[in-house]
Amino acid sequence: MSLINNAIVSVVKRMPESVVWQFSKRYIAGTTLNDAVDFVKKLNEKGIYATIDVLGESVQSKDEAVTAKQNALKVLEAIETNKLMANLSIKPTQMGLGIDEEFTYKNVYDLVETAAKKNNFIRIDMEDSPFTDKTIALYKKLHEKFSGVGIVVQACLKRTEKDVVSLNPEGCNYRIVKGIYVEPVEISFRDRQEIRDNYVKVLEIMLKDGNYVGIATHDEHLINEAYRLIKKYNVPNDKFEFQMLLGVREDLRDKINADGYKIRIYVPFGKDWFAYCTRRLKENPDFTKNVVKSVFGIN
């Protein structure tokens, strides 16, 4: 499937953005904060939570990182003003992690401190492997001062089990994902079932140790395994939630919601939507299938 996805991405990159938007808009709330707020309100009406993300990453200057921080602060303000059932997700490189670690810490500190004052929460996304150690270090430093901050771990990385065993005693708040970055074979699992198996293995360690987990997946097999582990360890509903991307497997989203479990949707918005969609196309079969249907007019 990845070869097909890569071929489609190559075609998509040559298309006018106005055309690409037509099949990308189901995965993006819009280009403005108001678009995101309106979308989250609709999710909340169904009892579904959200995490809002201002699209963008890998800034090239400190000024860009400060602008990204200011945009994120506006999201926190909008969540409070509109009484949304939502929190904020951020990418470390958007806050300057590729430029200066201490500068990034101060940026993210401002966000986490503001979120704490508003009784909200910041999720620090995990990017590709050159930033794994730096992201964990950033999270640990912030978690020493604030409880309302969490991190993401990727089941595709061989190191993740050890990272989780190390983080669990600190009462870590996780989001666990398969991982979308193409990493060197020396440090990552490539086989689909190997990634699945590691996901379940790591998830069990998290739940057994009593950590809060955002179980982020569109894989029905993994959702069923999560249900099994929740029952096996009698995990209370306030110690986990399920998470999904906007526009993907809404049938499963609604089933989880109907089953009485908390479900949170990742709601991205912003002018940098094109890069987000092409990256997702490379690894997500649901994105790819919908692009093919849109391009060829298949219902």
What's the CATH architecture for 29-269? Alpha-Beta Barrel (3.20)
From 53, 123, 125, 163, active-site residue: 125
Cβ atoms of residues 267 and 50 within 8 Å: yes
Query: Which pLDDT value is given to residue 155?
Result: 98
Q: What is the pLDDT of residue 298?
A: 45
219 part of the active site: no
Q: β-strands 49-54, 86-90: how paired?
A: parallel
Token readout for 140 is 């640990």
Dihedral, CA of residue 10, residue 15, residue 16 and residue 17, to nearest 10: -50
For residue 289, pLDDT over 60 is answered with: no
Instruction: Pinpoint the alpha helices (H) of 82-172.
Output: 101-117, 132-143, 160-167
| pLDDT exceeds 50 at position 212 | yes
* The one catalytic residue among 53, 123, 175, 280: 175
Boundaries of every domain in the chain: 29-269
Model confidence over 60-116: pLDDT tens digits?
Answer: 999 999 999 999 999 999 999 999 999 999 999 999 999 999 999 999 999 999 999
In the chain, % of residues over pLDDT 90:
80
- The confidence band for 200, taking pLDDT boundaries of 50, 70 and 90, is very high
pLDDT digits (tens, 9 = 90+) for 243-285: 999 999 999 999 999 999 999 999 999 998 877 777 666 655 5
Least confident of 54-58, 208-212, 241-245, 282-286: 282-286
125 is catalytic: yes
pLDDT score of 20:
72
Give residue-wise pLDDT tens across range 12-33: 666 667 667 777 788 999 999 9
Beta bridge partners of 101: none
Using the predicted structure, report yes or no on whether residue 236 has a pLDDT greater than 80. Answer: yes
